[in-house]
Structure 1
């Protein structure tokens, strides 16, 4: 079943918890199949990169060197996606980031507990992330986990984690969160999850025999500025530092209310 509108209760739950799985939404089968095909092609074209965090997969050649697929940009414009995000952050929507999180069966890396706002050059910090399940995401294959309500505390302390067993080299300081409060974000292929820029989240390694692949769109409101002068926080194990200076951003709905966002850079 496809529904493009969140209920009032779902909108309230998103703001209360910082994360939401829309109960009655499933992607149209043709869209899911097209996304799966595009993502399979991206993985084939980037055999030398760890697949747990491939950035800018919507660009034919991203500033970090990933060979992507421009069709992935077009999927981000799907009305059902924009309608849900608009209900959460308002009518002015700017797509500033796309990532592919693919954990291979048996070898997919852990993602340490973190907040996205720690890394991103968004001022003021505001983004709704749409996490799209292209495979079934389960606790066994490393589905996302969140600490409900943690977004209300704002930006928390992080520390460097220097080992090869994780997809990020920054993690929340242990005294900043209570893992016993974690909730699994288990999804069937074609379901989506939405989460706030400040929600504490992470995921376990994939120890199962099934892959876990998610495609992620980052939408910010037109009241925020993608500040290219902000130094990037190196966060991805085994890859280059994110290149925000040359990353293109796209106004998908409404207006840029700040008058500062550059929609020509990187195109």
Structure 2
């Protein structure tokens, strides 16, 4: 499917340079107050409709079919993934031809929100060559106290996947954790955001977050965009699902957000 919108905004040269140097950027642009209010109301609806699904990570709320979790999603989350100002910024970083291949709501409830282990996202994504720009939209204030995102600046530069180990634990959001010798946690930076701010991240960036020990929720909506010079390989996605046991990549729906499918291999029929 094709979701097109006209360019209306973008990152400054300094913001683009910061992204390429550090692997992330917090743009000066933020959600308008009315959009933030709508998204927070839509989050309340999503949580109420999926009480049986843990809110730490809710995969693909923009897909109504449910996926691995059986989530009751809504097209409204596709609209929230199509905000023109965000797409403009992604286009500057990922190129003018790109698609949306995934979204996640990270609810991180007060007091019980789980730790996200240090990891690289691409360790378990069926994208070849590996490329994705993730937009993290803060629906609540994100602080060190409630478990904001933490990153290792510059860890994307080697353009390689580092060694991870599978670690199944009820206390972790993900079951893949970066081996300790692969990074220096002392280099970590907290991504502190006010509700309505966004941050953009490279696929190779090492990141994680602490549990939420505060009395305030830390909800965010993450949208995954990849350049169409890369191929989202659904067949390989089926193998990854068997390995991780978490996400259904074999039937993942894709949406063309800007431009065209450059590689000509991406399947926009699966999952729709």
Query: Do these two structures clear the TM 0.5 threshold for a shared fold by scoring above it?
Result: yes
Residue aligning to 1:179: 185
Number of residue pairs aligned between Structure 1 and Structure 2: 261
Work out whether 1:266 is the aligned partner of 2:271. yes
Q: SS of the residue aligned with 2:251?
A: coil
Question: Hey, what's the Cα distance between the residues in 2 that align with 1:69 and 1:37?
Answer: 13
Conserved? CA contact 1:232–1:241, under 8 Å: no
Give the superposition deviation at 1:234.
6.5
**Alpha-carbon distance change, 166 to 235 in structure 1, aligned in 2, over 3 angstroms:** farther
1:213 aligned to which of 209, 215, 219: 219
Question: Hey, what's the Cα distance between the residues in 1 that align with 2:75 and 2:185?
Answer: 38
Deviations, residues 126-171 of structure 1 (Å, cap 9, x unaligned): 0000000000000000000000000112210000112211111110
Give the superposition deviation at 1:32.
1.0
Residue aligning to 2:5: none
Residue aligning to 1:147: 152
Question: Hey, what's the Cα distance between the residues in 1 that align with 2:76 and 2:234?
Answer: 25
Question: Hey, what's the Cα distance between the residues in 2 that align with 1:13 and 1:216?
Answer: 20
Conserved? CA contact 2:241–2:248, under 8 Å: no
Q: How does 1:110-259 map to 2 (within 5 A)?
A: 110-153=115-158, 154-230=160-236, 231-233=239-241, 241-259=246-264
How large is the Cα RMSD of the aligned pairs? Answer: 1.4
Deviates more, 1:159-168 or 1:110-119: 159-168
Question: Hey, what's the Cα distance between the residues in 2 that align with 1:235 and 1:15?
Answer: 31
Work out whether 1:14 is the aligned partner of 2:22. no
Question: Hey, what's the Cα distance between the residues in 1 that align with 2:140 and 2:42?
Answer: 14
Deviations, residues 181-205 of structure 1 (Å, cap 9, x unaligned): 0000010000000000010000000
Deviates more, 1:12-21 or 1:157-166: 157-166
Question: Hey, what's the Cα distance between the residues in 1 that align with 2:142 and 2:9?
Answer: 22
TM-score relative to the length of structure 2: 0.93
Question: Hey, what's the Cα distance between the residues in 2 that align with 1:75 and 1:149?
Answer: 29
* Structure 1: gaps spanning 5 or more residues: none
Give the superposition deviation at 1:61.
2.5
Question: Hey, what's the Cα distance between the residues in 2 that align with 1:194 and 1:55?
Answer: 19
Deviates more, 1:45-54 or 1:12-21: 45-54
Residue aligning to 2:34: 30
Question: Hey, what's the Cα distance between the residues in 2 that align with 1:234 and 1:191?
Answer: 35
Q: SS of the residue aligned with 2:93?
A: helix
Give the superposition deviation at 1:35.
1.1
Give the superposition deviation at 1:5.
1.7
* Structure 2: gaps spanning 5 or more residues: 1-7
Q: SS of the residue aligned with 1:195?
A: strand
